[in-house]
Structure 1
Amino acid sequence: MPQGRISANLNSPTVGVFVDMGHPLLNRAVDGFFKIGTVGASRVAAEEVYSALNKGRVTKHDLEHTFKKMGKEGLQCGAVAGLYTGLEYGVERVRGRRDWKNALISGAFTGAILSLADNSSRDKMVRNAITGGAIATASEFIRYLT
């Protein structure tokens, strides 16, 4: 069984953490999970700080609620990102190319799979697949704008 490794670097303005799971598919999925999960948790933290500033007070209950919400949101965002990046790697390997079509296919499958997890209707699954494909493709186009 492959052994995992963790390495980190801190160079301004980027922070990189790499977890070696022994296979590129797992590496990308775990990397996406951690990076986007952190973004999701950070978003909740920022919202809750804003809310606390508006209220003018913070209670122990508020802090507990915030940490639970950060964990839940981090896991959800991380799971979606891990699924997407894993699918994108798989599509890239099957197609033998690295282009925007991989993002389109992976985004569509991710949207459809998330709909299956919610027991959504067929119509909602198709809409989520279209939305997932569109968002993923747009992010690919934006990434390569220069």
Structure 2
Amino acid sequence: MPRSSLTGGLIGSPKVEVFVDMGHPFLNRTFDGFLKIGTVAATSVVAEETYHCVRKGSISKAKVEDALKKMCKEGAYWGAVAGVYVGMEYGVERVRGTRDWKNAMLGGALTGAVMSVASNKKADQIVIDAIKGSAIATAAEFLNYLT
């Protein structure tokens, strides 16, 4: 449910909290990652398509339908990436028995590889995507420590 709060005299950002209990922490985290990042991706499409409509000065039924299809496609893709990553990181954490930046690194590498394999890419590209996933996840983890 959306809500706002007052903090130090300033109005805070609205916060939407959705929790779906899937019966296991692994599934809960995976689904939560899918929902959050999928929503961000769909919202990004809305902003982009709104810009194009304003720039052209017109909107049509076909344009709205194309935007909705693009929202679903991008939301599902990035939601899947996030869900796989969160699930992989959680799995690595459980296997290793510790919570540190190495889980993000390994989870990112596994996610990059899995998403690359799912896209039918060649072996070299799978390795490159695993390295990219690892680098991005590790950098994000270190940035979380800074804030």
TM-score, reference length from structure 1: 0.91
Q: Map of 1:1-146 to 2, 5 A cutoff?
A: 8=1, 10-12=3-5, 13=13, 14-146=15-147
CA distance in structure 1 between the aligned counterparts of 2:48 and 2:18, rounded to whole angstroms? 25
CA positional deviation for 1:126:
0.5
Runs of 4 or more consecutive aligned structure 1 residues displaced over 6 Å after TM superposition:
none
Shift in alpha-carbon separation, 1:89–1:11, aligned structure 2, 3 A: farther
Amino acid at match of 1:41: A
CA distance in structure 2 between the aligned counterparts of 1:9 and 1:23, rounded to whole angstroms? 25
CA distance in structure 2 between the aligned counterparts of 1:80 and 1:118, rounded to whole angstroms? 12
Cα shift readout 1:30-83 (whole Å, capped 9, x = no counterpart): 000000000010011100000001100000000000001001110001111111
Structure 1, unaligned stretches of length 5 or more?
1-7
CA positional deviation for 1:10:
3.0
- Is the 1:92–1:102 contact (alpha carbons within 8 Å) kept by the matching residues of 2? yes
CA distance in structure 2 between the aligned counterparts of 1:99 and 1:106, rounded to whole angstroms? 11
Amino acid at match of 1:36: I
Shift in alpha-carbon separation, 1:50–1:9, aligned structure 2, 3 A: closer
Quote the residue 1:3 is aligned against. Answer: none
TM-score, reference length from structure 2: 0.91
CA positional deviation for 1:9:
5.9
CA positional deviation for 1:23:
0.3
Aligned residues: 139
- Is the 1:9–1:17 contact (alpha carbons within 8 Å) kept by the matching residues of 2? no
CA distance in structure 2 between the aligned counterparts of 1:11 and 1:79, rounded to whole angstroms? 29
Amino acid at match of 1:46: A
CA positional deviation for 1:11:
4.2
Shift in alpha-carbon separation, 1:92–1:69, aligned structure 2, 3 A: same
Between 115-124 and 57-66, report the one with greater CA deviation.
115-124
Q: Secondary structure of the equivalent of 2:20?
A: strand
CA distance in structure 1 between the aligned counterparts of 2:2 and 2:55, rounded to whole angstroms? 36
CA distance in structure 2 between the aligned counterparts of 1:144 and 1:16, rounded to whole angstroms? 23
Q: Secondary structure of the equivalent of 2:58?
A: coil
Identity of aligned residues (%): 59
Larger strand proportion of the pair: 1
